Amino acid sequence: MADEDDIILSELEDDDLVAQMMDDLYDGLADEIVEGTNILLERGWAPYRVLTEALVAGMTIVGHDFRDGILFVPEVLLAANAMKSGMAILKPLLAETGAPTIGKMVIGTVKGDIHDIGQNLVTMMMEGAGFEVKNIGINNPVENYITACDEFDADILGMSALLTTTMPYMKIVIDQLVAEGLRDKYIVLVGGAPLNEEFGKAIGADAYCRDAAVAVETAKTFMARKHNQRAGA
Protein backbone atom coordinates (compact mmCIF):
# COMPACT_ATOMS: atom_id res chain seq x y z
CA MET A 1 0.00 0.00 0.00
CA ALA A 2 1.20 3.48 -0.80
CA ASP A 3 1.94 5.89 2.03
CA GLU A 4 -0.72 8.17 0.63
CA ASP A 5 -3.38 5.71 1.73
CA ASP A 6 -2.20 6.17 5.32
CA ILE A 7 -2.91 9.90 5.47
CA ILE A 8 -5.20 10.57 8.42
CA LEU A 9 -7.12 13.72 7.55
CA SER A 10 -7.97 14.61 11.15
CA GLU A 11 -4.25 14.77 12.04
CA LEU A 12 -3.45 17.36 9.36
CA GLU A 13 -3.09 21.06 10.11
CA ASP A 14 -5.79 23.23 8.48
CA ASP A 15 -3.60 24.34 5.55
CA ASP A 16 -2.42 20.80 4.83
CA LEU A 17 -5.95 19.46 5.15
CA VAL A 18 -7.26 22.01 2.63
CA ALA A 19 -4.43 21.11 0.22
CA GLN A 20 -5.22 17.41 0.67
CA MET A 21 -8.93 18.07 0.04
CA MET A 22 -8.07 19.88 -3.19
CA ASP A 23 -6.07 16.81 -4.27
CA ASP A 24 -8.89 14.47 -3.21
CA LEU A 25 -11.42 16.57 -5.12
CA TYR A 26 -9.20 16.44 -8.20
CA ASP A 27 -9.13 12.65 -7.85
CA GLY A 28 -12.90 12.45 -7.33
CA LEU A 29 -12.73 10.94 -3.83
CA ALA A 30 -16.18 11.72 -2.41
CA ASP A 31 -15.77 10.00 1.00
CA GLU A 32 -12.58 11.95 1.73
CA ILE A 33 -14.28 15.22 0.76
CA VAL A 34 -17.14 14.47 3.16
CA GLU A 35 -14.66 13.66 5.94
CA GLY A 36 -12.55 16.76 5.27
CA THR A 37 -15.61 19.03 5.14
CA ASN A 38 -16.84 17.70 8.48
CA ILE A 39 -13.40 18.07 10.10
CA LEU A 40 -13.11 21.73 9.04
CA LEU A 41 -16.64 22.44 10.32
CA GLU A 42 -15.79 20.75 13.64
CA ARG A 43 -12.70 22.98 13.86
CA GLY A 44 -14.97 26.01 13.70
CA TRP A 45 -14.61 26.94 10.04
CA ALA A 46 -17.60 28.87 8.69
CA PRO A 47 -19.49 26.90 5.99
CA TYR A 48 -18.80 29.62 3.42
CA ARG A 49 -15.07 29.45 4.14
CA VAL A 50 -15.05 25.65 3.65
CA LEU A 51 -16.96 26.13 0.39
CA THR A 52 -14.68 28.80 -1.05
CA GLU A 53 -11.23 27.86 0.27
CA ALA A 54 -11.46 24.08 -0.07
CA LEU A 55 -14.18 23.09 -2.54
CA VAL A 56 -14.46 26.03 -4.96
CA ALA A 57 -10.69 26.48 -5.02
CA GLY A 58 -10.29 22.77 -5.80
CA MET A 59 -12.94 22.81 -8.54
CA THR A 60 -11.28 25.87 -10.09
CA ILE A 61 -8.14 23.80 -10.67
CA VAL A 62 -10.27 20.99 -12.13
CA GLY A 63 -11.98 23.53 -14.41
CA HIS A 64 -8.70 24.96 -15.68
CA ASP A 65 -7.26 21.51 -16.39
CA PHE A 66 -10.47 20.51 -18.17
CA ARG A 67 -10.28 23.66 -20.28
CA ASP A 68 -6.62 22.94 -21.09
CA GLY A 69 -7.27 19.33 -22.10
CA ILE A 70 -5.42 17.79 -19.12
CA LEU A 71 -8.61 16.34 -17.64
CA PHE A 72 -11.54 14.88 -19.57
CA VAL A 73 -15.29 14.60 -18.95
CA PRO A 74 -15.22 11.34 -16.89
CA GLU A 75 -12.62 12.77 -14.46
CA VAL A 76 -14.47 16.07 -14.20
CA LEU A 77 -17.75 14.26 -13.47
CA LEU A 78 -16.00 12.33 -10.68
CA ALA A 79 -14.58 15.55 -9.23
CA ALA A 80 -17.95 17.28 -9.52
CA ASN A 81 -19.60 14.33 -7.79
CA ALA A 82 -17.11 14.57 -4.92
CA MET A 83 -17.83 18.30 -4.74
CA LYS A 84 -21.55 17.49 -4.54
CA SER A 85 -20.94 15.27 -1.50
CA GLY A 86 -19.31 18.17 0.30
CA MET A 87 -22.02 20.57 -0.88
CA ALA A 88 -24.73 18.27 0.54
CA ILE A 89 -23.30 18.96 4.02
CA LEU A 90 -22.73 22.67 3.45
CA LYS A 91 -25.94 23.65 1.63
CA PRO A 92 -28.30 23.61 4.63
CA LEU A 93 -25.66 25.40 6.75
CA LEU A 94 -25.12 28.04 4.06
CA ALA A 95 -28.88 28.61 3.86
CA GLU A 96 -28.99 29.16 7.64
CA THR A 97 -26.18 31.71 7.57
CA GLY A 98 -27.52 33.48 4.46
CA ALA A 99 -24.15 33.08 2.73
CA PRO A 100 -23.75 35.06 -0.47
CA THR A 101 -24.02 33.33 -3.83
CA ILE A 102 -22.39 34.68 -6.97
CA GLY A 103 -25.66 34.45 -8.88
CA LYS A 104 -28.57 32.22 -9.86
CA MET A 105 -28.82 30.21 -13.05
CA VAL A 106 -31.57 28.24 -14.76
CA ILE A 107 -30.24 25.64 -17.20
CA GLY A 108 -31.91 23.05 -19.41
CA THR A 109 -31.75 21.29 -22.76
CA VAL A 110 -34.09 22.69 -25.43
CA LYS A 111 -37.29 21.15 -26.79
CA GLY A 112 -36.73 18.07 -28.96
CA ASP A 113 -33.34 17.32 -27.41
CA ILE A 114 -32.83 14.72 -24.69
CA HIS A 115 -29.07 15.04 -24.16
CA ASP A 116 -28.01 16.12 -20.71
CA ILE A 117 -24.40 15.10 -19.95
CA GLY A 118 -23.04 18.51 -20.98
CA GLN A 119 -25.55 20.57 -19.09
CA ASN A 120 -25.28 18.34 -16.01
CA LEU A 121 -21.55 19.00 -16.09
CA VAL A 122 -22.19 22.75 -16.37
CA THR A 123 -24.62 22.51 -13.43
CA MET A 124 -22.04 20.80 -11.23
CA MET A 125 -19.23 23.15 -12.25
CA MET A 126 -21.42 26.24 -11.70
CA GLU A 127 -22.45 24.99 -8.24
CA GLY A 128 -18.81 24.26 -7.60
CA ALA A 129 -18.02 27.89 -8.39
CA GLY A 130 -20.61 29.21 -5.92
CA PHE A 131 -23.67 29.72 -8.14
CA GLU A 132 -27.16 28.50 -7.28
CA VAL A 133 -28.45 26.41 -10.18
CA LYS A 134 -31.92 25.18 -11.06
CA ASN A 135 -31.57 22.44 -13.69
CA ILE A 136 -34.87 21.95 -15.52
CA GLY A 137 -33.68 18.87 -17.42
CA ILE A 138 -34.29 17.95 -21.06
CA ASN A 139 -36.80 18.68 -23.82
CA ASN A 140 -37.85 22.12 -22.56
CA PRO A 141 -40.37 24.27 -24.43
CA VAL A 142 -40.03 28.04 -24.18
CA GLU A 143 -42.56 28.40 -21.35
CA ASN A 144 -40.48 26.09 -19.10
CA TYR A 145 -37.50 28.44 -19.34
CA ILE A 146 -39.54 31.58 -18.77
CA THR A 147 -41.46 30.14 -15.80
CA ALA A 148 -38.31 28.71 -14.18
CA CYS A 149 -36.36 31.96 -14.59
CA ASP A 150 -39.20 33.92 -13.04
CA GLU A 151 -39.79 31.54 -10.11
CA PHE A 152 -36.07 31.13 -9.38
CA ASP A 153 -35.33 34.85 -9.81
CA ALA A 154 -32.51 33.87 -12.17
CA ASP A 155 -29.64 36.07 -13.30
CA ILE A 156 -28.55 33.65 -16.00
CA LEU A 157 -30.42 31.45 -18.47
CA GLY A 158 -28.40 28.57 -19.91
CA MET A 159 -29.57 26.55 -22.91
CA SER A 160 -28.00 23.41 -24.28
CA ALA A 161 -28.48 21.43 -27.52
CA LEU A 162 -26.58 18.51 -28.99
CA LEU A 163 -28.51 18.13 -32.24
CA THR A 164 -28.28 20.48 -35.23
CA THR A 165 -32.06 20.08 -35.60
CA THR A 166 -32.77 21.44 -32.10
CA MET A 167 -30.28 24.33 -32.16
CA PRO A 168 -32.75 26.77 -33.82
CA TYR A 169 -35.13 26.34 -30.87
CA MET A 170 -32.74 28.49 -28.82
CA LYS A 171 -33.67 31.44 -31.03
CA ILE A 172 -37.38 30.78 -30.37
CA VAL A 173 -36.71 31.08 -26.63
CA ILE A 174 -34.69 34.30 -27.02
CA ASP A 175 -37.28 35.80 -29.41
CA GLN A 176 -40.01 35.04 -26.86
CA LEU A 177 -37.99 36.74 -24.11
CA VAL A 178 -37.70 39.79 -26.37
CA ALA A 179 -41.45 39.69 -27.17
CA GLU A 180 -42.30 39.61 -23.44
CA GLY A 181 -39.85 42.41 -22.61
CA LEU A 182 -37.71 40.06 -20.51
CA ARG A 183 -34.58 39.75 -22.64
CA ASP A 184 -32.55 42.35 -20.74
CA LYS A 185 -33.40 40.73 -17.43
CA TYR A 186 -31.22 37.64 -18.04
CA ILE A 187 -27.71 36.81 -19.17
CA VAL A 188 -28.32 34.17 -21.87
CA LEU A 189 -25.56 31.57 -22.32
CA VAL A 190 -25.76 28.80 -24.93
CA GLY A 191 -23.69 25.68 -25.46
CA GLY A 192 -23.55 22.25 -27.05
CA ALA A 193 -21.38 20.37 -29.52
CA PRO A 194 -22.82 21.68 -32.82
CA LEU A 195 -22.87 25.35 -31.75
CA ASN A 196 -20.24 28.00 -32.30
CA GLU A 197 -19.67 31.65 -31.50
CA GLU A 198 -21.22 32.87 -34.73
CA PHE A 199 -24.42 30.95 -34.02
CA GLY A 200 -24.58 32.39 -30.51
CA LYS A 201 -24.31 35.92 -31.90
CA ALA A 202 -26.81 35.26 -34.69
CA ILE A 203 -29.56 34.14 -32.30
CA GLY A 204 -28.97 37.00 -29.86
CA ALA A 205 -27.37 35.12 -26.96
CA ASP A 206 -24.95 36.97 -24.68
CA ALA A 207 -22.30 34.31 -25.15
CA TYR A 208 -21.54 30.86 -26.54
CA CYS A 209 -19.64 28.61 -24.12
CA ARG A 210 -17.71 25.75 -25.68
CA ASP A 211 -17.50 23.73 -22.44
CA ALA A 212 -18.39 23.76 -18.76
CA ALA A 213 -15.17 25.47 -17.66
CA VAL A 214 -15.74 28.31 -20.14
CA ALA A 215 -19.37 28.56 -18.98
CA VAL A 216 -18.22 29.17 -15.40
CA GLU A 217 -15.66 31.79 -16.42
CA THR A 218 -18.16 33.53 -18.73
CA ALA A 219 -20.89 33.53 -16.06
CA LYS A 220 -18.50 35.03 -13.50
CA THR A 221 -17.45 37.78 -15.94
CA PHE A 222 -21.05 38.72 -16.76
CA MET A 223 -22.09 38.68 -13.09
CA ALA A 224 -19.17 40.97 -12.17
CA ARG A 225 -20.29 43.39 -14.90
CA LYS A 226 -23.87 43.22 -13.64
CA HIS A 227 -22.77 44.05 -10.09
CA ASN A 228 -20.62 46.93 -11.33
CA GLN A 229 -23.55 48.36 -13.30
CA ARG A 230 -25.76 48.15 -10.23
CA ALA A 231 -23.09 49.77 -8.08
CA GLY A 232 -22.69 52.57 -10.59
CA ALA A 233 -26.44 53.10 -11.03
Domain pair 7-97 / 104-232, same fold: no
**Angle 30-42/73-97 helices, nearest 10 degrees?**
30
Q: Residue ranges of the domains in the chain?
A: 7-97, 104-232
Tens digits of per-residue pLDDT, 48-91? 899 889 998 898 899 889 889 999 989 998 998 999 899 999 98
Q: Each residue of 116-172: pLDDT tens digit?
A: 888 988 998 888 888 999 999 999 999 999 999 999 999 999 999 999 999 999 999
**CATH for the 7-97 domain, from 3.40.50.620, 1.10.510.10, 1.10.10.10, 1.10.1240.10:** 1.10.1240.10
What tens digit of pLDDT does each residue of 162-205 get? Answer: 999 999 999 999 999 999 999 999 999 999 989 999 999 999 99
- For the sheet containing 156-160, what is the strand order? 132-135, 104-109, 156-160, 187-191, 207-208
Specify whether the CB–CB gap between 79 and 127 falls below 8 A: no
Q: Which fold has domain 104-232?
A: Rossmann fold (3.40.50)
The Cα 216–Cα 207 span in angstroms is: 12
> What is the model's pTM?
0.78
Which has the closest alpha carbon to 50: 99, 12, 96, 6? Answer: 99
